[in-house]
Structure 1
Amino acid sequence: MKAKYIVLAVLIVTSLGFIKYPIDGYEATGIARLYQLRKFQLDSVKYTRIPAGAYKKLTDIKLSLANRKDDSIQDLLISDRDFERKLKRIIPSGSYSISVMDMSNPDNLKYAAHRENVGYQPGSVGKIAVLLAVFDQLQRLCPDSWEDRVGYLKNIKVTSRYWGTGDHHTIPVYDIEEDRLTKRKVVASDKFSLYEWLDHMVSVSNNGAASIMYREAMLMAAFGQDYFFLDAEKAENYFKETSRDSLTNLANTVVNEPLRKLGIEENEWKLGGMFTRPAGKYVGRKGGSIGTPKGLMKFLVQLEQGNVIDTESSLEMKRLLYLTDRRIRYAKSPRLDSAAVYFKSGSYYKCDRAKNPDCGSYAGNVFNYMNSVIIVEHPNGLKYIVCLMSNVLNKNSAGAHMYLASKIDDIIDEANVSKKPIIKEEEYKSDKDESDN
């Protein structure tokens, strides 16, 4: 078995070298949708789905706080009174919580927060914990070789099976030979690389992809080095033959233990279970999910330091969060069009139509969570992190999030506010295919 592992590792390293990413990252990652976007760019094809800030090159993406790597997270999250006063002036009354870190000058960080310890159901923001779990397990399996980890992400392909079904989110399936893009739901026979499933999970927030990658993180933990030679039949037999309690405990440990290692407490961020119902066939939930602006900020600041697992993993996770697809909610603010954004949004709502028959999507009257976490990098050097969570009933808060994005950007870029058009809160217009929970 050891000999097989060495041969496979050599083949992968030979074919890959060191990984880079975004639109010019198809060759390194094998993510097919990047091939199409890069082709548009090289052929000068007009493509209006993404703004100017989405065209960063691989070498442009860096960790903003690498020079603060040795500082503890507790020492960095100290409120700046003046900054916090300005922030609180623009926060709407009611169920909003937020944390903001201005990283424009890494040697003079400014942190501000409002109700940052209040817990919310994180929705799809919780998929970042799955992303972390996968990279954590790969580091355990290949502690001495980043190239091996990258090789496995690109070359190991797994099928969806029932784990990825039952989700309404579509995924982009690009046929390179036919030059044809199809958007459709995940089906049981779908087979993609680990990299592509991660991209489906993060870029278009596919719940099925999240359950599939959650499954793969569990299998890495359960099989160790044998994971690299695992097939679908052996994997399914493992789930059939292992007790439900054992699988549930493993699932909980795989996604939550890496958060605890970062000093993120259970009441600050916790993932309760899988993202699709069919995945619950063998794996149960262990409590609910919760997130707070402070817990999420702890993760993103340490990501920028290069302290989430290691420097290479931190940078690669940041690349995967780099948004090269349509922008929604907070990220849709016109103030951010020229900025690079690393973004994840999530929502979770419930309607009691006995109380209101017209209760609509993302406007729940029982609960109505909407969350945005984002790293913003402007061409002029302004860089900051925002973790915004809300639970405003009977209203789609996407417009409020987008408006707050503009106002926060103005606070951080106050020297240039007079040169910008006035921003007013307006009715949010969703894209026809916009759906992210």
Structure 2
Amino acid sequence: MTLARLAAAALATAAALAHAYPLDAYESTGIRRLEGLRLANEGKVRDVKQPPGAMLPLADVDLRLVGKTWDLPAPDPQFTRQVQALLDGGMDQYGLGVLDLADPDHPRYAEHRGDHKQNVGSVGKIAVALALFQALADLHPNDTAARMKLLQSTTVTADGFSQWDHHTVRFYDPATKKLVRRTIQPGDRASLLEYVDWMLSPSSNSAAGMVMREAMLVRQYGTAYPPPEPEIKRFFAETPKKDLTALFERTFFEPITRNGLDLDQLRQASFFTATGKRLVPGPGESYGTARELMRYLLRVEQGRLVDEWSSREIKRLLYVTERRIRYASSPALANAAVYFKSGSLWKCSRPGACGEYRGDVENYMNSIAIVEAPAATREQYYMVTLVTNVLRKNSAAEHQGLGTRIQKLMAQPPRPLAK
């Protein structure tokens, strides 16, 4: 690196540490956990501190491919072989895609079993985010301020749709500077935007249940949204199940196809909570593929998921400012900005035969990530989607290791494109 680039990197890093995201986001979003994390980074609140890559200013968490409308390029054979060489296990246990965007005008794409389809667990929450932002855009097509006002001013009170979940979320009170981490319980109140953040940052199923409820209500009530709590209870209690299922499909399936994605390759077809599934029957199976998840991320970066405003908000919501886990926990990514979601499902043949993330019948682990590394200079810029079923291995550690190996590959000077 030249002296000029080193100086630029140092200045950018200093700026990021001075006004770091999430440090500057509480006032503009109302997401209270961000203020708690800001103070934790200053040593004033007891909580985890963020790595350097999680310290971008809000203004720098932005879309980088706006104006580009190309779809995924054909897989490059040479690049694909390089990526396949990083896999540690049976090749039929992986589906993945890697899109190198270091030169956005000449992207390189590697893919292995990109059309392999399986339940992607909590990664399906990105389809919920799409559904909510599409519903808000349909309600206020030319007024993004009105959309943000609804997200920030709508108070959501957890009910049966939130039950149940083991994931804890951060309840932070800026007035008392008190932080509590616990599961969401009926009666918990927060803004709709905070529930979306809880759904994506610590991956709370309870929060996802409430966000899915709200997305359906936006679709159902339109300009009368939000309805009062008694009306919400009446609607879900008295509406025939078949009509609720039809509303579910309009809310969560139509946005997939409207945004140029393939519903046969990506869909979330049920609630993330047991009570939600009982109240609103889901219309079939949930699944995703590495290829379609990559197309989702690409459309986010291009500002083509709903619209530019929605794409930007979704990318910001995916920026990892909680504890980094699985793929994102790779030490090689500590200095990288990572926009990330993961999800897992595992099953053992009998009690004691295996353990968490080590299923011997199913061991699904799924990750999506946009990586800008290092965050200050962004010399590497790429996307990764993983849909894996590596039996009997710790799949969280497997994804972490892949994150390290892929980052090492992407940090190397690119070889000439295959002819």
Tell me how far apart the structure 2 counterparts of residues 364 and 249 of structure 1 sit (CA, whole Å): 35
CA contact (8 A) 2:40 2:49 kept: no
Match of 1:317 in 2: 314
Is 2:361 aligned against 1:363?
Answer: no
Structure 1 counterpart of 2:412, which letter?
Answer: E
Tell me how far apart the structure 1 counterparts of residues 353 and 27 of structure 2 sit (CA, whole Å): 48
What is the deviation of 1:45?
Answer: 7.6
Which of residues 124, 133, 136 is equivalent to 1:135? 133
Which of residues 304, 308, 319 is equivalent to 1:307? 304
Q: Could you say what secondary structure the match of 2:306 adopts?
A: coil
Tell me how far apart the structure 2 counterparts of residues 254 and 246 of structure 1 sit (CA, whole Å): 12
Which of residues 364, 368, 373 is equivalent to 1:373? 368
Match of 1:408 in 2: 406
Tell me how far apart the structure 1 counterparts of residues 225 and 43 of structure 2 sit (CA, whole Å): 41
Structure 2 counterpart of 1:169, which letter?
Answer: H
Which of residues 101, 104, 114 is equivalent to 1:106? 104
Tell me how far apart the structure 2 counterparts of residues 268 and 100 of structure 1 sit (CA, whole Å): 18
Alignment map for 1:141-156 (pairs within 5 Å):
141-156=139-154
What is the deviation of 1:357?
Answer: 2.7
CA contact (8 A) 1:21 1:29 kept: no
Match of 2:28 in 1: 28
Q: Could you say what secondary structure the match of 1:264 adopts?
A: coil
Match of 1:298 in 2: 295
Q: Could you say what secondary structure the match of 1:98 adopts?
A: strand
Match of 1:238 in 2: 235
Match of 1:118 in 2: 116
CA contact (8 A) 2:40 2:48 kept: no
Structure 1 pair 67/266, CA: closer, same or farther in 2 (3 Å)?
closer
What is the deviation of 1:40?
Answer: 3.8
Q: Could you say what secondary structure the match of 1:343 adopts?
A: strand
Alignment map for 1:23-172 (pairs within 5 Å):
23-41=23-41, 49-68=49-68, 70-71=69-70, 73=71, 76-92=72-88, 93=90, 94-172=92-170
Match of 2:217 in 1: 219
Q: Could you say what secondary structure the match of 1:24 adopts?
A: coil
What is the deviation of 1:297?
Answer: 0.5
Q: Could you say what secondary structure the match of 1:23 adopts?
A: coil
Tell me how far apart the structure 2 counterparts of residues 22 and 155 of structure 1 sit (CA, whole Å): 20
CA contact (8 A) 1:252 1:273 kept: no
Tell me how far apart the structure 1 counterparts of residues 142 and 98 of structure 2 sit (CA, whole Å): 35
Match of 1:280 in 2: 277
CA contact (8 A) 1:158 1:232 kept: no
**Matched residue count:** 390
Tell me how far apart the structure 1 counterparts of residues 308 and 100 of structure 2 sit (CA, whole Å): 21
What is the deviation of 1:49?
Answer: 3.5
Q: Please, which moves more after superposition, 39-48 or 99-108?
A: 39-48
- Consecutive unaligned residues of structure 2, counting only runs of 5 or more, are 1-19, 415-419
What is the deviation of 1:21?
Answer: 7.0
CA contact (8 A) 2:135 2:215 kept: yes
Structure 1 pair 239/58, CA: closer, same or farther in 2 (3 Å)?
same
CA contact (8 A) 2:21 2:55 kept: no
Structure 1 pair 404/370, CA: closer, same or farther in 2 (3 Å)?
same
Tell me how far apart the structure 2 counterparts of residues 43 and 271 of structure 1 sit (CA, whole Å): 40
- Consecutive unaligned residues of structure 1, counting only runs of 5 or more, are 1-19, 417-437
Cα deviations by residue, 1:214-262 (Å, 9 ceiling, x for unpaired)? 010000111110014x111111111112110110121122112111123
Structure 1 pair 46/109, CA: closer, same or farther in 2 (3 Å)?
farther
What is the deviation of 1:398?
Answer: 1.3
Structure 2 counterpart of 1:34, which letter?
Answer: L
Q: Could you say what secondary structure the match of 1:104 adopts?
A: coil
Tell me how far apart the structure 2 counterparts of residues 137 and 156 of structure 1 sit (CA, whole Å): 15
Match of 2:344 in 1: 347
What is the deviation of 1:170?
Answer: 0.9
What is the deviation of 1:42?
Answer: 5.7
Structure 1 pair 67/46, CA: closer, same or farther in 2 (3 Å)?
farther
CA contact (8 A) 2:21 2:56 kept: no
Match of 2:14 in 1: none
CA contact (8 A) 2:209 2:273 kept: yes
Cα deviations by residue, 1:314-342 (Å, 9 ceiling, x for unpaired)? 00100000000110111111110000000
Tell me how far apart the structure 2 counterparts of residues 48 and 344 of structure 1 sit (CA, whole Å): 19
Q: Please, which moves more after superposition, 268-277 or 388-397?
A: 388-397
Identity %: 40
CA contact (8 A) 2:45 2:177 kept: no
What is the deviation of 1:387?
Answer: 0.2
